[in-house]
């Protein structure tokens, strides 16, 4: 089966699989749309969350839009994400790894659905510029404007020409101007901006709205800056991505996208940006940032506006980033940094940002454990604050098991290490108070201009053999499961570990005496113990 050509084919697939809610009653994009979708992230189990399609949208001034809005199509849940990857949930990791190891070069086309309507020059404001689109207010009561929350910013390295695709929110400031806020100085577009600034020219860029889901997935991933994300998107699809040249800037964009906004990011001036409800669980405060001047807008004749919810995990963006990080980071550790013992990487998005990471490692030398731990802040500062290494018997996604390893497999004086790094952004208010905005936080010229931050590295792996896990052996739990079903008790969702297992400190005598106990012959053990009595000291 061929991969989705565009967002529309994907929406149809979600609908057919029962993962789309269509809302036809009038909905105010400024006060009702995001709060309605937000409810499912606060009140429904993960597997029941769905994408939403709104086709009767108006704003607080009474303007009716003929452009529908979709929210949650990329990552309302892992089940939705898997539909976007055309695989089962437990196959996502394999598909991500294959896409990174076997990228597919894009192909250029000369005609594209996304350029059916072209608004530029004297006609740029013919339909209202950015006001043409029903861009929702994400956090009503706190946000100071509508924001583009699901943009795929495309820019090029001014020296090498390598393309970067990234998702960075954009405040709507006028019909022809938006914010350009990458949040972190090491994002691909920030590298490009600094190079363009050194060359004394603005940075050309394009904002893509609405495309096949593979474009969105690579846009929010943490791929290296020397990788063209469109090639990895091709790897996900199993076929080349069709690109078309923009009309007014030297940028290539997906030909089957819904909307493209072309323009330039100034490298001479910055201006105030935000507040905006952020993924940290707090409202991001106003600071100086770059801005984007719109030169041209192209779109399909009847486009769809795509947004996503990124505030206060769990959210759509937390699901997307969690899955992407869990599959991009292991590949880089295993293959690029030669750590084949890395089994899984869990980036925990609880009610906060993605800086609590658990590395699941195969048995290896202590020095290798520390090499893996120290690689995180060096290579992935955005996901580095608390990093814990655990053994293969620990599910890195299970907070209870991770806490168990954290407390009973590590000693703070020996197994904890604190390393200092530049803060990845200004939105972690434990680093310091909200910023005053003297410098553009995303595009700082040097990391050492950022406030000092730190990471806690924890080796919570076994250092020597332990006694068995104190649950019944599997054979007895298997028997209990059969009895449970015979009695007709409720359906179980078993969590690992659900039976005991040996961790190396267990003698043959221990094993024999435990076997006597289940046979009812424990008196034999008691008799043996009487023979080993000693005088009390």
**CATH code of residue 137:** 2.30.110.10
Q: What is the CATH classification number for the domain harbouring 366?
A: 3.40.1670.10
102 plus 228 within the same structural domain: yes
278 plus 364 within the same structural domain: no
440 plus 503 within the same structural domain: no
376 plus 513 within the same structural domain: no
Cα–Cα distance measured from residue 382 to residue 161, given in angstroms and rounded to the nearest whole number: 25
- Residue pLDDT, tens place only, 172-212: 999 999 998 877 767 788 889 989 999 999 999 999 999 99
272 plus 359 within the same structural domain: no
Cα–Cα distance measured from residue 51 to residue 472, given in angstroms and rounded to the nearest whole number: 42
Residue 332 lies in a domain: no
Nearest to 2 by CA among 284, 236, 316: 236
264 plus 364 within the same structural domain: no
The per-residue pLDDT for 478 is: 86
Q: b vs e for 126-158, b when ≥16 Cβ sit within 10 Å of the residue's Cβ?
A: eeebbbbbbbbbbbbeebbbbbbbbbbbbbbbb
504 plus 412 within the same structural domain: no
> What are residue 387's DSSP bridge partners?
357, 457
Residue 327 lies in a domain: no
The answer to whether residues 264 and 204 touch, using CB atoms and an 8 Å cutoff, is yes
Residue 2 lies in a domain: no
215 plus 286 within the same structural domain: yes
Residue 466 lies in a domain: no
The per-residue pLDDT for 453 is: 86
* Chain position carrying tokens 């168990």: 404
Domain that holds residue 355: 337-459
The per-residue pLDDT for 276 is: 79
E strand or H helix at 259: strand 259-265
Distance from the Cα of residue 38 to its chain's centroid: 18
Low-confidence ranges of the chain (pLDDT < 50): 351-352
Residue 498 lies in a domain: yes
E strand or H helix at 272: strand 271-273
Residue 331 lies in a domain: no
217 plus 184 within the same structural domain: yes
393 plus 526 within the same structural domain: no
357 plus 239 within the same structural domain: no
Q: How many residues does the chain have?
A: 537
The answer to whether residues 57 and 134 touch, using CB atoms and an 8 Å cutoff, is yes
Count of domains forming the chain: 3
303 plus 402 within the same structural domain: no
Nearest to 257 by CA among 295, 321, 304: 304
Q: Looking at 307, 324, 350, which one is the last position of a domain? A: 307
Could you tell me the two tokens for 8? 């529309």
Answer yes or no: pTM beyond 0.85.
no
The per-residue pLDDT for 247 is: 98
């Amino acid at each position: 089966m061929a991969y989705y050509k565009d967002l529309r084919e994907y929406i149809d697939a979600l609908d057919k699989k029962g993962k789309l809610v269509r809302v036809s009653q009038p909905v105010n994009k400024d006060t009702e749309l995001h709060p309605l979708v937000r409810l499912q992230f606060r009140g429904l189990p993960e597997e029941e969350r769905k994408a939403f399609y709104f086709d009767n949208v108006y704003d607080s001034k009474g303007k009716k839009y003929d452009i529908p809005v979709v929210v949650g199509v990329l990552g309302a849940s892992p089940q939705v994400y898997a539909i976007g990857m055309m695989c089962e949930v437990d196959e996502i990791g394999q598909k991500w790894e294959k896409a990174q190891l076997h990228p597919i070069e894009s192909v250029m086309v000369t005609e594209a659905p996304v350029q059916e309507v072209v608004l530029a020059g004297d006609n740029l404001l013919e339909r209202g510029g950015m006001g043409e689109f029903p861009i929702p207010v994400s956090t009503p009561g706190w946000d100071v404007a509508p924001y583009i929350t699901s943009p795929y910013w495309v820019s090029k390295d001014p020296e090498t020409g390598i393309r970067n695709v990234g998702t960075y929110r954009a405040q709507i400031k006028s019909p022809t101007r938006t914010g350009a806020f990458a949040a972190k100085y090491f994002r691909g577009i920030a590298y490009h901006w600094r190079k363009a600034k050194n060359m004394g020219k603005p940075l050309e860029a394009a904002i893509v709205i609405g495309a096949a889901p593979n474009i969105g997935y690579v846009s929010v991933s943490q791929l290296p800056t020397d990788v063209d994300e469109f090639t990895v998107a091709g790897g996900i699809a199993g076929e080349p991505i069709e690109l078309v040249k923009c009309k007014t800037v030297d940028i290539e964009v997906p030909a089957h996208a819904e909307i493209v906004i072309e323009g330039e990011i100034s490298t001479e001036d910055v201006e105030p940006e935000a507040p905006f409800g952020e993924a940290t669980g707090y409202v991001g405060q106003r600071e100086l940032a770059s801005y984007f001047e719109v030169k041209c807008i192209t779109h399909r004749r009847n486009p769809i506006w795509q947004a996503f919810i990124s505030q206060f995990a769990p959210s759509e963006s937390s699901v997307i980033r969690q899955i992407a990080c869990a599959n991009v980071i292991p590949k880089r550790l295993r293959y690029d940094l030669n750590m084949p013992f890395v089994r899984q990487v869990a980036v925990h998005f609880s009610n906060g940002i993605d800086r609590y990471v658990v590395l699941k490692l195969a048995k290896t030398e202590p020095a290798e454990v520390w090499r893996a731990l120290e690689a995180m802040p060096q290579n992935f500062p955005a996901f580095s604050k608390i990093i814990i290494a655990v053994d293969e018997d620990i599910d890195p996604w299970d907070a209870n098991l991770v806490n168990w390893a954290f407390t009973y497999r590590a000693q703070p004086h020996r197994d904890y290490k604190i390393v200092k790094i530049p803060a990845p952004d200004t939105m972690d208010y434990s680093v310091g108070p909200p910023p005053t905005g003297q410098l553009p936080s995303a595009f700082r010229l040097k990391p050492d201009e950022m406030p000092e931050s730190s990471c806690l590295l924890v080796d919570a792996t076994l250092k020597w053999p332990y006694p068995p896990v104190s649950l019944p052996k599997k054979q007895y739990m298997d028997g209990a499961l059969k009895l449970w079903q015979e009695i007709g008790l409720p359906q179980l969702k078993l969590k690992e570990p659900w039976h005991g297992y040996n961790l190396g400190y267990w003698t043959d005598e221990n094993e024999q005496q435990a076997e006597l106990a289940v046979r009812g012959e424990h008196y034999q053990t008691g008799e043996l113990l009487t023979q080993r009595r000693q005088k009390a000291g």
